[in-house]
A = this chain, B = another copy of it.
Amino acid sequence: MLLQLLDYLGVAVFAVTGGIVASRKQLDFIAFLFFATLTGIGGGTLRDLLLGVPVFWVVNEAYLVVCLVVSVFLWFFAHGIERFNKPLRWADAVGVSAYSVMGAAKALNVGDTLLVAVLMGVSTATFGGVLRDTLAQEPSSIVKSEIYVSAAFAGAGSYVLLAQFGVVPWVAAILAGSVAMILRGGAILHGWSLPGYGHRRRP
């Protein structure tokens, strides 16, 4: 149930980031729909293809309706959202956190092994944003020095660990999602980063 909510939340906030990109590029409404939908469902689509299960939005149209509603909302209010501080990065952070947990949880449900579950969490949490940035021809967060992939990794990893120790799914999801969110939030606010390769080599 909570996982279901997390799933809608992940789709919705990634859809918001897609819509914000479309608004910054001054695109038309259909492009809003396109960017919001592809960013919203991209990560989960990759997850389901890799797991070999039916794609979630083909099974349940409600996810597409969520993207449609988000697009309409942003078409009218994107200028308002831009008054917040770094709205795109914060929505993206919520999306990464929610999806990293969801990706791992769905992989565990399908019965896959721990490493696979972690990788599924990481790749599906980051894929929507990569898709959005590639299509919009913006530099992707993947290659920045800030914590990004690591936050997804921490979220997926903690969920898998907690689930392994028998923690009930919704508690594990909240804890793991918070871990990812705190790491990514710290990166946005304070530029948190792990030591990069060069820093370690040339002290």
Please list the residues of chain A having a beta carbon within 8 angstroms of any beta carbon in chain B: 22-23, 25-34, 37-38, 45, 49-52, 54-55, 57-58, 61, 64-65, 68, 75, 78-79, 112-113, 115-116, 119, 122-123, 126, 130, 134-137, 139-140, 142-143, 145, 147, 149-150, 153, 193-199, 201
Known pairs A34-B122, A52-B55, A123-B38; A113 contacts B197 (CB<8 A) = no
- Cα A34 to Cα B145 in complex, Å, equals 14
Known pairs A55-B50, A137-B139; A115 contacts B61 (CB<8 A) = yes
Report chain B residues within 8 Å CB of A49: 49-50
Report chain B residues within 8 Å CB of A75: 197
Q: Which 9 A-B pairs have the closest CB atoms?
A: A28-B194, A26-B198, A30-B150, A26-B196, A23-B197, A64-B115, A34-B149, A61-B115, A26-B197
Q: Contact between A45 and B50 (Cβ–Cβ < 8 Å)?
A: yes
Q: Contact between A135 and B145 (Cβ–Cβ < 8 Å)?
A: no
Q: Contact between B193 and A57 (Cβ–Cβ < 8 Å)?
A: no
Give A157 Cβ to nearest chain B Cβ, in Å: 10
Q: Contact between B197 and A142 (Cβ–Cβ < 8 Å)?
A: no
The main secondary structure of chain A at its interface with chain B is helix
- Cα A194 to Cα B30 in complex, Å, equals 9
Report chain B residues within 8 Å CB of A142: 31, 34, 135
Report chain B residues within 8 Å CB of A51: 58
Report chain B residues within 8 Å CB of A45: 50
Which residue of chain B lies nearest to A28 when distances are taken between CB atoms in the complex?
B194
- Chosen A-B contacts, 25 in total, with CB atoms closer than 8 Å, are A22-B197, A25-B143, A27-B196, A27-B197, A28-B150, A28-B193, A28-B197, A30-B149, A30-B194, A31-B149, A31-B150, A34-B126, A34-B153, A45-B50, A51-B58, A57-B116, A58-B112, A61-B113, A61-B116, A64-B115, A64-B119, A135-B140, A135-B142, A136-B143, A137-B140
